Amino acid sequence: MNSPVSPTSAAHFGVTPWQYHRWSPMHAVRWVGKRLLRVYWDLPTRIAEMLWTLGLRRAAEELLWRAYCAYPYDHALGEYLANWLYNHHQRRFAPGTVERGNFLMQVLERSCPSPRLTSAYFENLGAVLEQVPQRAQAGQVVLGLGAGRCGSTTLAAILHTVEGAISTHECPPMLHWVPLPLELQFHLRRFELFRHHAPLVADCAHWWINSLDQVFEAFPASKAIGVIRETEACVRSWMKVSSADVNHFVPAHNRIWSPDRWDPLYPHYDLPEAARQDPTAAKETLVRRYILEYNERMRNLAARMPDRVLLVATEELDFPSTRARISDFLQMSVGSDPIRRNVGRDWDAASADYLYY
């Protein structure tokens, strides 16, 4: 018969004397398991620190970035990456400059809004905006909605034609499909600052559909414009630009598609039948379902709040009648020149010309 663990031996394992009677093999296994798991989770950061110390800086950052892409739901790792990139590069950019704002936004795009990075961003933005005259009346906040591959980048460019407007497309930090409070608060704070210096502050991204009520509550005069593209054309565009080994619409660890940084930004569905036998067909099915459900939600929003939500067709964005509808809706004049952004690609450098600061 095994003898009980004595108070002395229990203390050796980090157990206080009054707890010794609760020590058991199961406790020991859990204790060891937790520490091994902690080492496992800390491994990418420890290796990155070692690589940086050895002067392999690009390799260190690439390791952390790939680790975060592999575990995009690990917010702690995202914050670690944010602080890492900020700490190692921020001295290259003078405080109170647009260049520093660009750098901070690029870090946010690759990570999470950690408290340190958030503080640095708004400190810099405040200094930049001190040089810009304030408006007598705060500007209007406008959100662009769309399932993706539908013309939302073009919509952002159209809104930017309003004189003095600040209009962005998918401005970081990206919002999870179930938005994290710190992500949404970042954007609300940014909107509030900018609208005192611009007649219109806009951002166009698919993720706003889940935060519309919060934005409308924070800014009672705010509005939204939704872009709807013909379903099958939208599906084809999605499939064309999306990597075959990525599927944003399935749960993590599905054993078919690799994890991706953008996975948390979309809804997840059950795997279709025969998904393993024909992954491409399964992915297309889920893309179509997402687009149909997203567009239906926009139609419901427009029906419920016609004075605050306007729907336009992607194929008609350049029509004079559509531009007139947008101008009337906003009570501001948008440009009439034809605009086409992000056509046939998953990213358009031109869309970032006026984005990051």
| Number of neighbours of residue 194 by Cβ within 10 angstroms | 22
* Confidence check: pLDDT of 18 > 50: no
Closest CA to 214 of 195, 249, 193, 186: 186
Domains located in the chain, CATH noted: 7-126 (no CATH), 140-352 (3.40.50)
pLDDT value, residue 353: 43
Alpha-helical regions (H) of the chain: 7-12, 25-53, 57-70, 75-89, 98-109, 115-129, 152-159, 181-194, 212-218, 231-241, 279-304, 320-330
pLDDT tens string 329-345: 999 999 998 887 665 55
- Give residue 116's Cα distance to chain centre: 18
pLDDT value, residue 348: 46
**105 vs 203: CA distance, rounded Å:** 14
Q: Residue 224: which H helix or E strand, with range?
A: strand 223-228
The DSSP call for residue 277 is T
**Residue 47: band (very low, low, confident or very high) from pLDDT cuts 50, 70, 90:** confident
- Cβ atoms of 140 and 223 within 8 Å: the answer is yes
pLDDT tens string 123-168: 999 999 999 999 999 999 999 999 999 999 999 999 999 999 999 9
* Confidence check: pLDDT of 294 > 80: yes
* Confidence check: pLDDT of 170 > 80: yes
The DSSP call for residue 354 is T
The DSSP secondary structure of 298-337, one letter per residue, reads HHHHHHH-TTTEEEEEGGGTTSHHHHHHHHHHHTSPPP-S
* Confidence check: pLDDT of 176 > 80: yes
pTM for the structure as a whole: 0.85
pLDDT value, residue 51: 80
Paired residues of 312 in beta bridges:
227
**93 vs 98: CA distance, rounded Å:** 9
Average pLDDT, the chain: 87
**Which residue pairs from 274-279 have beta carbons closer than 8 angstroms and sit at least 24 positions apart in sequence?**
279/244, 279/247
Specify the 3-state DSSP secondary structure of 247: coil
Q: Which of 37-41, 74-78, 346-350 has the highest mean pLDDT?
A: 74-78
